[in-house]
Amino acid sequence: MTSEEPGGRLDLRFALGSDGRTALVRREHRFPFHFTTPLYLDGNMPGMAFVYVQNPTGGVFGGDRLELSVAADAGAAVHVTTTSATKVYRTEGEGAVQRVSLAVGTGAFVEYIPEPLIPQAGSRYEQDVAAVVDEEGALLIAETLAPGRVAHGEAFAYDRLLLRTAVRTPEADVCAETVLLEPTKGRPDRRGLLGEFPYLSTLLAVAPGRDSAALADALDDAVRDLGFALGAAGTLPREQGALVRVLARSSPAVTAALAAAWQAARMFLLGHAPPRRRK
């Protein structure tokens, strides 16, 4: 695929129905994206729509241009995840690019918690997540990064990984983060960077109008004494939410640490724990 051809696209819009259920009101998708019809999995929040994004090609290839867009209108509640880890394959030519845009309407609640990203040997990948959160909306974004195909003895063998996340409200920027890892130029497992922990997970909880210091404390309590992972949380700029970072030595450990943070964010923002997701 060259950059002139149209890339993969998935465009989903959700609205709160009069029955209190969040319904999918617009969809547009183009190869290779697939998605499940909304499932309603949360007994504590029966109207919340859960959508699983699938990429039946099994991963992201060099030259791929993927675009995922999720909009939740006022009051809607949406959870978006992927069915399995996103593998980024070796490429000789252009790297792969994925853009994700998230729009959280007034009073809406959106979770974007995909499975880990696994950049394989010789891969190049660029990801751009841009989100807008309206008044009284709340957004959770998680990103989990694996060092590569560990079962194949592969760690930090990818060429280049650029992960950008930017969140704003309609009035102003909230926070921005850019991680650039180029193992050929400097190993990511240097002390201070990832150190002895090859797995990294970040959870951003953006909730304008909520007590960000209390949110940060709740998240910090959930991850600081896990033992199997090194984690901590703190407030975001301008009291707009909190950020959690977790480092771990294994995939199950990082997943469990992220789950602990997710549960704490849910408890704080909604008053109840997340349901079990079916994978």
- The answer to whether the Cα torsion of 242, 245, 251, 253 is positive or negative is negative
Q: Which helix (H) or strand (E) holds 256?
A: helix 251-270
Q: Is 235 in the site for another protein (CB under 8 A)?
A: yes
Please, which contacts does 29-35 make with residues 24 or more away whose CB atoms are closer than 8 Å? 30/6, 32/8, 32/56, 32/57, 33/8, 33/9, 33/66, 33/68, 35/10
Q: Report d(CA 222, CA 216) in Å as an integer.
A: 10
Size of the site for another protein (CB under 8 A): 36
Q: Are 88 and 123 in contact (CB under 8 A)?
A: yes
Asked if 108 and 134 count as a contact pair (C-beta separation under 8 A), the reply is: yes
Burial letters 90-111, b for 16+ CB under 10 A, else e:
ebeeebbbbbbebbbbebbbbb
Assess 194 for contact with another protein (CB under 8 A). yes
The string over 216-231, giving b where at least 16 C-beta atoms fall within 10 Å of a residue's C-beta and e elsewhere, is: bbbbbebbeebeebbb
Tell me how far, at minimum, the Cβ of 5 lies from another protein, in Å: 22
Query: Of 232, 256, 267, 273, which one interacts with another protein (CB under 8 A)?
Result: 232
Considering only CA atoms, which of 193, 254, 260, 189 is closest in space to residue 220? 260
Q: State how beta strands 65-72 and 8-16 pair.
A: parallel
Positive or negative, the Cα torsion across 59, 158, 141, 133? negative
Among the listed residues 53, 110, 203, 230, the single contact to another protein using CB under 8 A = 230
Indicate whether 159 belongs to the interface with another protein (CB under 8 A): no
Cβ proximity to another protein, 74 vs 193, nearer residue: 193
Pick the piece of the chain touching another protein (CB under 8 A) from 30-38, 65-73, 80-88, 172-180: 172-180
Looking at beta carbons only, is 98 or 235 nearer to another protein? 235
Among 3, 31, 180, 214, binds another protein (CB under 8 A): 180
Question: Is residue 222 a contact point for another protein (CB under 8 A)?
Answer: no
Position 173 contacts another protein (CB under 8 A): yes
According to the binding rule CB under 8 A, does residue 247 interact with another protein?
Answer: yes
Task: Pick the binder of another protein from 39, 85, 166, 267 (CB under 8 A).
Answer: 166
* Residue 245 beta carbon to another protein: minimum distance, rounded to whole angstroms: 5
Cα–chain center distance at 265: 14
Q: Does 25 bind another protein (CB under 8 A)?
A: no
- Asked if residue 46 binds another protein (CB under 8 A), the reply is no
Segment interacting with another protein (CB under 8 A) among 7-15, 146-154, 191-199, 260-268: 191-199
Smallest gap from residue 192 Cβ to another protein (A): 4
Please state the closest distance from residue 75 (CB atom) to another protein, in A: 27
Q: Which residue in 16, 53, 133, 174 binds another protein (CB under 8 A)?
A: 174
Nearer to another protein, 89 or 262 (CB): 262
The residues binding another protein (CB under 8 A) are 166, 172-180, 186, 190-195, 197, 200, 202, 216, 220, 224, 230-238, 243, 245-247
